Every structure is written in C-alpha cells, then in structure tokens.
A and B are shown apart, each in its own frame.
Chain A
Amino acid sequence: MKFKWVVLSSIFTIFTLLTGCEPLMVLDPKGPQAKTQADDIILSIILMSVIVIVVFAMLVYMLIKFRASKQSKDYEPPHIKGSLLVEAVCVGIPVLIVIFLSVMSVKSNYEVESTPKGYENKKPLIIYASSSNWKWHFSYPEENIETVNYLYIPTDRPIEFKLYSYGPITSFWIPQLGGQKYAMSDMVNTLHLAADVPGEFMGRNANFSGKGFAENTFNVEAMPKDEFEEWVEEVKETAKPLTEEKFDELLKPGHLGQSTYTGTHLGFMPPPEGEHGGHNHSSNDSEKASANDSNESETEAHQNH
C-alpha cells in the first residue's frame, strides 16, 4: 500500500500549495476520528476525479470527432438502439465504485461512532457540551467544573462529548478533531473524539441557530495530561461556584466571553437524558456506549418508553 501513500501525500501537497501555506482545516487532522474522515475524503476525491476526467475526455473526443463542420454534407447519422455490452460497462463500473465506497463508508461510520482507534483501553473523559443562544457550556462531571465558550482537553485520552441544547438545534464541530453532531433540546447525543497532539483548535456551532450564529464559536486547547490536571486544580482553587441563578443568567440569549466555574449545572438542571429525555431515537451503539457509563441512564429510558 506504499503507492496509496505516495498518491495521498502528493494530493495533500497539491492542496497545501493551493491554499497558500496552511492546509485546509479538515484535511489537517489532529486526532484519529478526523484522520479517518480526512483519509476518506482524499480517497474519494481521487476516485471522483477519475470519473470527472473520463467524462470530460469522452465529451471532448465526441465533440472533436463528430462536429458537423468536420463531416461531409451528405453524412447521415445512423439510428443506433444501444448495445448491451456498452450499457453493462456503464452500469458495471459505477456499481463497483459504489460498492467500494459503500464498504468504506460503512466501515468509517462505525469507526467514528465508537471509541477512537488506539484509545480503546483508556477510560474516556466525559464532557457535557450544551449550547444556549449563542454560547457553549462545557461541564466536566468527573472534575466537577464548568466552562463557558472554551474547552480544555487532555491529549491521549478519548473524550466522550454529551451534546444537547437549550433552544434551537445546534451542531457541535471541531473540524481538526472530527466531524460534527447535532445538539438538540430533547435528547443527548454522544460524540467520540480524541486529540493526538497538543494544540489550539477552532470549535463552533455549525447549524444555523439565529442572529448570533456566526459568532457562536469556542476555543479548544488540547494539552498533555499533567497540564490538564494542573488546570483543573487551578480552576478548583480560583473559580467561583456555579449557582442556579448564575446559570439562568448565562442562559439568556446573547454573547459572552469565556468564564470558568466550580461545580456543574448538571445537578440542578439535568440534561435531557434518561427520565429527563423528551424522546429517544438514539442508536444501538450510543446505547452500548451509555450502558458502559456509570452516570448514564439512557437504557432505563428505553424501558420507560
């Protein structure tokens, strides 16, 4: 498979050159999920370019060869019904391509819906990410702290985001760590991400949610484990506690800067899961995932319904 990598990296270089110096964000992954997706994207670009080139070449050939101005006056185009062989080829090859891509797609989808590759044996860090017009609240139940509009995560540890929203549907997206998923007000979605390397990444709401949508962003900083733990300790020592009144205030529509609190809103304002959920259409695998979680009760919800 050496050849594949030569092709992949040369395409990658072309993209890099095309965009000046910085690579396009999605094609510059910093975690296993984003990597899976970037590989899929590049491979499909290559395959699809081949198709475009074939169509293009055929079109040019036909136009050059069969232009009326190049033909004798009395040429009469024949009546052609179509040939089984030609049509079999025109169906067969696309079918093969579609089968190939389907296999890839299914495989990758199961990958990005489960614990990141290489992180299977590590205990995931659970972060509740909830959006409110037009802010993001990040609760770390394990650490018992909460932040607004910024996110610190440790590298080398799988992160399980629990997504929901106070209001319109939003979509939680950190392009360099992996693709997005919706946060909705009546259910909790799970997104599995992980960061391989330390760094600062852009995060945003990608789903239109009204006036403040464009600025509905957050900063993500991935850092080594000890740095992360230091930060948690520091927050615990310095930040104010998150009270119910304070949180109600934060929920009001509008933009806010970044802030940090001890405690989380999960206690007095439980997320829409388990008995607090509106409905449940989550998949088998997020069920499996939640069954593993100690503080989860989604399976219960199913029995209730």
Chain B
Amino acid sequence: MDFFSRFAVPHPSPAIYASMVAIGLTVIAVIAGLTYFKKWGYLWREWLTTVDHKRIGIMYLISALIMLFRGGADAIMMRAQLAVPENKLLDAQHYNEIFSTHGVVMIIFMAMPFIMALMNFVVPLQIGARDVAFPRLNALSFWLFFAGAMLLNISFVVGGSPDAGWTSYFPLAGNEFSESVGTNYYMFALQISGLGTLMTGINMITTILKMRAPGMTMMKMPMFTWSSLVANIIIVFAFPVLTVALLMGTMDRLFATNFFTTSNGGMDMLWANLFWVWGHPEVYILILPAFGIYSEIISTFSKRNLYGYKSMVGSMVIISLLSFLVWTHHFFTMGQGALTNSIFSITTMAIAVPTGVKIFNWLFTLWKGKIVITTPMLYSILFLPTFTIGGVTGVMLAMSAADYQYHNTMFLVAHFHMVIIPGVVFAMLAGLTYYWPKMFGFMLNEKIGKIAAWVISISTLVAFMPMFFSGLDGQARRMYTYSESTGFGIWNMISFIGAFGMAIGFALIVYNIYYSTRYASRDIGSDPWDARSLEWATHNPVPEYNFAIIPQVESSEGLWDAKKKGHVLFKGDYEKIHMPNNSGVPFIMGAIFFAWGFSFVFGLWIPGILTTIGIFVCMALRSFEKDHGRYISVKEIEETETKMRGAK
C-alpha cells in the first residue's frame, strides 16, 4: 500500500533514532510525573480547558519558547555544517529538511505564537476589559495552532520533514520532485494553525473595537493595542490568501490537480505570487506588535510620553497598506521586466519612510527623558541600531537591479535575520521580561537578564554580519556545502561562533527563569516598573476577572495620570461579574484536527473522513449547547481583592 511505502523512517540517521528515543522517554516521563503527582485533574481543569485569555497567553508563550529551542537547534546544526568547507556532518537531504523546518518553525511556530502570547495577555488588560470578545474561540485558536505545531514537529520522526524550503516553491514542492510526505506535513500544519490565526484576527479586532474601557477612544488606545489592531487587520486580509494557496498546493499533491505543476497548464509563478501576497504582510504581522512593545517599554523607562503618538499610529496604518503592495520584491528575477520591477522597487522603498518615522519617534522619546536601563529597556536600546542595519540593507535589496545580485544569497539571509531578530525576537524577550511580573507575580533577575541581552545581541552581529560579505562574495543560500577554493570558509566560521554565542544567550534566559522562580521576591506590588498604562493598574498576578471594577480613563496613559494627576480609575462599587465557563471542546477539536491533518498527510482516507465528520459534530454540538457562563459574586470579589492586597 502506498501508505506503508511512505511510512518508513524518513532519514535513517543516528541523530533521528536518538531523537525518537528522546521523544519517547520524555513522553513517558511526563505521563509518569503527572500520574505520580496526581496532576491530571489540575492540568485538565485549569489549563487544557481554560478560556481565560491570560492562561491562553501563557500557553502560547510556553509553546513559543519550546519552538525557539527546536528552531535554534536546527540553526546550530546548519551553522555547524557550514562552519568548514566540505563538512560531512549532514548530507544534502538532511540539510534541506533542517533549513526548511527551521524556517517554518521560527516564523509560524515561534514568532507567531510569541506575539499571540503577548497580544492575548496584554491587550484585554490594556484596554480595561475582562477577556477577549470570544473566549472560547480564543481557546480553539490556540489549540489549532498547537495541533499544527505538533504536526510539523512529528514530521522528522514519522515520514520525513518538508524539504523544499519554508517558501515551498513549486514545482520543487510537487510530488515529482518532493516525493516524501514532508511537504504534505507543511501544507496541513500551516493550514491548521493558519485557521487558528485567522480566528484570532477576528477575535482581537472585535475585542479592541468593542470592549475598550469607558473613555478610551481610538486615539487614546495604548500603542501596543494600536499595533495589535493593525496587525490583526493585516491577518484578516492576508491569511485567507495562504489558506487558498495551501489548499491548491494540497490538491496538487493529493489529488493530482495541476494548479502549480507545470505540466497541463499549471503555473509555478502563481504559487510564488500567492505565497508572498501572504508572506510579505506576514512579516509586518510579526513586526508591528513588536514595535508596539518597544513603544510601551521605551516610554515607560524614559519616564516620558511616547513622542509623536499620532504619527506612530499613522505610520503603522501606512505600513499595513504598503505591505500588500510589495510582494513582487521577493522575485524581481522572475522575468517580469523592468517596468513591473520598478513599480515594486519604489513601493518597497516607500516603506522605509514610515519605518524611519517610528525610529526617530523612539529616539525623540528618549529626548528630555529620565532614562532607566532595565533589561527590557536594554533590549530596546540594542534593537535600535541593529534593526537599523537590517532595515537599510532592506532598502538596498529593494533596488531591483542590485537585487539581481543579492537575490538567493547569504546577503538576503543576513538582512532578514538582522531585521527579524532585533525586531521580533528582541521585542519578545523584552516583552517577556517586562510582563513576567504580571504573568507570574515575580520579577526575572535583572543582572542575568542584562548579561543575556548583551550576549544575544553581540552574538547576533557576529552571526549575521559575515553573511553580508559571503553573500556579496557569491555564496548562495541553502547550499549544504561549499568547496575550500570559494573562500567562504572564514565567514561561515565566524557565523558559527556567533550562532553558538546566541545559544549561550538563550540558555542564560532559561537559567534566569529557573533562578528567579526559585529565589526572586514575591513581594513586588502591582506596578514594579512604575509604568503608565492600564495593565499595571490591577494586581500581580492578575485575578481571573482582570479588574474588580472596570476602569475609566481619560488618556492613553491611564495609570500614569492616576498616579500623577490624581485621576480616579476605579469608580463605583463591586458588582457581580459574568465569566464564561471552561470548555473541553476546543482542546478536543484541536486533537481531532491533528488526527485529521495526520490522516491526510499519509492519504489515509477513512480516518480522514471520520475526523472530518468529528470536526463538524463538534461544531454542531456547540451550536446546540446552552452554556451562559457563571457569575462571580460580590463576596468572592471582596475576598480575592483583600487577599491580593494583603499579598502585596
């Protein structure tokens, strides 16, 4: 049967057998541990069935951190392979699978959930809401993301990983040239988690538009909320394109349609176009919330309002529009001619202007401020020059004629890592450190945090700057090896050292979490950073209902004005609070979606049909369900509030 011939262990190498054993042992250890400590009930009641936006945010965060290490391990393997010429550590097929999964994992399963974590956790608090607009849908979004992530992650032990790059260009990704089920995994993993993302988009937009605290007009929203709103609007426009492209790709692979295969009139460029119509906006989905985080942090630790609030908002709106008008810059070399290239060259460069406005606004926020350098602030300060290097090389890439030389080379790899690592990863680490006390009720150690920030940013430069040179010296990306005579050896060796340094930096962060969990003080009050916006107006950690009384604000810096101008945020008395009930359905649907994806990856039609039915049954059941949630009584609120204040 077709199934069995494809179900073989994909890549018979000791590393993969070792990982299989390691995965098996970890699973056994987790199950045994949960049983021994009798935590199954707790896990189910408090986490797997939760609809609380804060817990969902934390689950996104944990997943993102795990995926950072998965993607990081891939990165180290790649850099080790390339460190010296003609290395035999990995063979071509293995290297191809590794860079493909690295790309997918980092963008879809690390960076995306990281911003989802912060958006989920922070946005409702920042706008003074009790939860997101559709809490249950939110849980479903998370479990769909998680199902997709797990699906991609089992690929390397069951059937083979995708090996056509994270861009998965056809016809290379078609059955003819990618025979293993790897690309099927890609199609289904992205599809499932993409559906989750689309739902989050709708959920977040509704939340932000409908659930703001009294007094918070649109132009009084904190900057992170603004950036989340814009990012989610991009999601709602961009992700349907991905859905359709993946569907067409899946049909090509499973049902022999010919959308993208070049026999029978398919068009390979159609894939490239659809992919990047989603793919370019996708990078702004990641970067805009990161910009939002930086705005919050820089203004908090300059002890000053954000400079040019209106132009910050305006530039984000302009960026979001332009992000849909530039996708062709990813294939200037496809032969569309000078006129088309010129148009896209100009639209691409135009993005530099609003981006520049933001950078100058941050710089002017520092101006006349009272700058305190904490760990989150250190990341933000290190972000500015590093990101600028990444950004200006982007302008260089946008010059279409010159891009004929940069395209597909290490220069490009250097550019986008220099944008995405300071832009997104630093922001996430800064946000993690900044919001950690809100999430867990204690602070991360500042000293270890700062060392980690320095190690990571210096290593980033060491790892990626050499690639600008090796790119200009003719090193194409995605080459698993090169010969001594090319002279690329020295650059790649330096890169390897940098990558190793980054690994040390990330390990320091893990150590910091461990260290602070054990030793940090739990007595930090509700506003340890002396911050400015509403999320710091409630307790640490945040009670289930967020705010005992819905706050009323008069500016984008509600808490700051309460502290400095004596505004009263919480007016009136406690009233009973309506909260949604937990539900197991989102988790179960996630599990069914996982099985559904797995079935289709291997073309197992019967389980495929059964799981499809299962999905619809879940949806039907939900529509007949009568669950109106529950109320938290005034007495309960009083008790919680007294206890929280006491803990302070």
A residues touching B (Cβ–Cβ < 8 Å)?
18-20, 22, 24-27, 34, 36-38, 40-41, 44-45, 48, 51-52, 55-56, 58-59, 62-63, 66-68, 71, 75-82, 86-87, 90-91, 94-95, 98, 101-102, 104-106, 108-113, 133, 163, 167-169, 171, 173, 175, 178-182, 184-187, 189-190, 202, 204-214, 278-279, 281-286
Contact = CB atoms under 8 A, between A and B. Distances in A.
Contacts of B403: 179
Nearest to B408: A206
A48 B177 contact: no
Contacts of A41: 396, 402, 405, 472
A167 B396 contact: no
Contact of B405 (A110, A179, A214, A281): A179
Contact of B381 (A59, A71, A163, A207): A59
Nearest to B299: A77
Nearest to B346: A102
Contacts of B580: none
19 contacts: A41-B405, A44-B396, A48-B392, A52-B388, A63-B371, A66-B366, A66-B368, A68-B370, A68-B372, A78-B304, A82-B361, A86-B360, A90-B361, A102-B346, A105-B398, A168-B171, A180-B333, A210-B163, A283-B339
Contact of B267 (A68, A113, A181, A279): A279
B369 A182 contact: no
Nearest to B340: A283
Interface in B372-387: 372-373, 381, 384-385
Contacts of A210: 96, 163-164, 172, 177-178
B11 interface: no
A110 B334 CA distance: 15
B177 A44 contact: no
Q: Which residue of A22, A180, A202 has the most chain B CB atoms within 10 A of its CB atom?
A: A180
Given A62-B371, A109-B400, A211-B93, A168 B169 contact: yes
Contacts of B409: 206
Contact of A90 (B96, B337, B360): B360
B585 interface: no
Interface stretch (B64-72, B230-238, B427-435, B480-488): B480-488
A51 B387 CA distance: 12
Interface in B113-136: none
Given A59-B363, A67-B371, A179-B333, A283 B92 contact: no
B310 A208 contact: no
A52 B404 contact: no
Contacts of B367: 62, 66, 80
A114 to B, nearest CB: 8
B401 A179 contact: yes
Contacts of B384: 55, 59
A15 to B, nearest CB: 8
Contacts of A285: 337-339
Contact of B353 (A91, A133, A187): A91
B401 A94 contact: no
A37 B345 contact: no
Contact of A113 (B178, B338, B356): B338
Interface string B327-346: 00001011111111110011
B413 to A, nearest CB: 12
B401 A22 contact: no
B607 interface: no
Contacts of B392: 48, 51-52
B405 A104 contact: no
B476 A204 contact: yes
Contacts of A212: 92
B399 A101 contact: yes
Contact of A171 (B337, B373, B407, B474): B407
Given A48-B395, A206-B407, A169 B171 contact: yes
Contact of B352 (A98, A182, A213): A98
A77 B532 CA distance: 14
Contacts of B487: 20, 22
A175 B96 contact: no
B47 interface: no
Closest CB pairs A-B (n = 5): A283-B337, A179-B404, A108-B401, A48-B392, A189-B335
Contacts of B267: 186, 278-279
B478 interface: yes
Contacts of A27: 472
Nearest to A79: B305
B171 A37 contact: no
A15 B369 CA distance: 40
Contacts of A213: 92, 96, 478-480
Contact of B334 (A68, A105, A182): A182
B262 interface: yes
Contact of B304 (A37, A77, A169): A77
Contacts of B381: 59, 63
Given A62-B371, A95-B353, A167-B176, 6 more contacts: A24-B474, A48-B396, A56-B385, A79-B305, A87-B311, A214-B481
A62 B262 contact: no
Contacts of B615: none
Interface string B85-111: 000000011001000000000000000
Contacts of A284: 337, 339
Interface residues on B, range: 35 or more
Nearest to A174: B474
Given A211-B92, A213-B92, A278-B267, A167 B171 contact: yes
B336 A281 contact: yes
B307 interface: yes
B478 A52 contact: no
A116 B454 CA distance: 48
A25 B474 contact: yes
Interface in B402-429: 402-405, 407-409
B345 A58 contact: no
Contacts of B338: 106, 109-110, 113, 283, 285
Contacts of A180: 333, 404-405, 407-408
B477 interface: yes
B385 A171 contact: no
Nearest to B265: A278
B408 A185 contact: no
Contacts of A37: 401-402, 404-405
B357 A90 contact: yes
Contacts of A18: 469
A75 B342 contact: no
Nearest to A29: B405
B480 A214 contact: yes
A181 B333 contact: yes
A77 B303 contact: yes
Nearest to B396: A44
A198 B408 CA distance: 27
Interface in B283-314: 302-305, 307-311
B563 to A, nearest CB: 12
B485 to A, nearest CB: 10
A26 B473 contact: yes
A163 B372 CA distance: 58
B407 A109 contact: no
Nearest to A203: B474
Q: Which residue of B305, B371, B402, B403 has the most chain A CB atoms within 10 A of its CB atom?
A: B402
B268 to A, nearest CB: 6
A206 B363 contact: no
B165 interface: yes
B269 A184 contact: yes
Nearest to B331: A182
Q: Which residue of B304, B342, B361, B476 has the most chain A CB atoms within 10 A of its CB atom?
A: B476
Contacts of A214: 92, 479-482
B569 interface: no
Contacts of B211: none
Interface string B164-185: 1100010110001110000000
